[in-house]
Amino acid sequence: MCESLYAAVLSDTLDELGYRDQVMRENLNPIDPNWVVAGRAKTILSVDVHYLPEDPYAKEIEAVDSVKPNEVVIGCTNESKQNGLWGELLSTASKMRGARGAIVDGLIRDTKKIVELDFPVFATGTKPVDSQGRGLVIDYDVPVRCGGVLVNPGDVVFGDRDGIVVIPAGIVDEVVRRALDKVQRENHTRTELLEGRTLRQVYDKYGVL
């Protein structure tokens, strides 16, 4: 996705097209605020458990090993507070498969190693617990609700320090085209504001705020 785009302009563009609920909850943030992530959604579904399964990592390994280049892993934990779904080794494996990053609607660990790896991960917080006996991946490549937004496999997700936007697969080209046009109008607006024109003058001219 074009480097000139950012979460806010994509959100505005989706609003204009009638898609007004495509931004994930505000408590999903990048571990490093400078990280930006964009790519096709690779969804993984995890649930809380309270026992030790015989093979606790089977589906999790299968899911990560099936990651394709330019995908962003979407880890749905149903907002778990007990499960540390994501960490350094899953990040490393995903990066080597060509993933762009991961977004987890729950807790992660190994953040120092993940930052050193420079693999963008967004999460609601950290907790140094293993998923074994606490969470179980039960499926992947299925629709999931992450950060309050329904994400389908193949949707485009874009995240930066302002938040995470989900673009339905069928309208990606239209959203990008409109968003790039809006970026250009915002740039003209900024320039003319710095030249001393009033906000009303530039809004009437370019229609952005």
Q: Is 109 annotated as a binding residue?
A: yes
Q: Angle of helix 88-96 relative to helix 58-65, nearest 10 degrees?
A: 30
Please name every residue paired with 153 in a beta bridge, in sequence order, or none if there are none: none
State how far the Cα of 32 lies from the Cα of 38, in Å rounded to an integer.
Answer: 15
Q: Helical H runs in the chain?
A: 7-16, 58-65, 88-96, 111-117, 172-194, 199-206
Q: Is 62 annotated as a binding residue?
A: no
89 known member of a binding site: yes
Kindly state the tokens that stand for 128: 């140094």
163 is in an annotated binding site: no
159 annotated to a ligand binding site: no
88 annotated to a ligand binding site:
yes
Q: What sign does the CA torsion over 89, 76, 159, 40 have?
A: positive
Strands 149-151 and 101-104: unpaired
Rg, the chain, Cα only: 19
Q: What are the binding residues?
A: 87-90, 109-110
Residues placed in the known binding site for substrate: 87-90, 109
Binding region for Mg(2+): 110
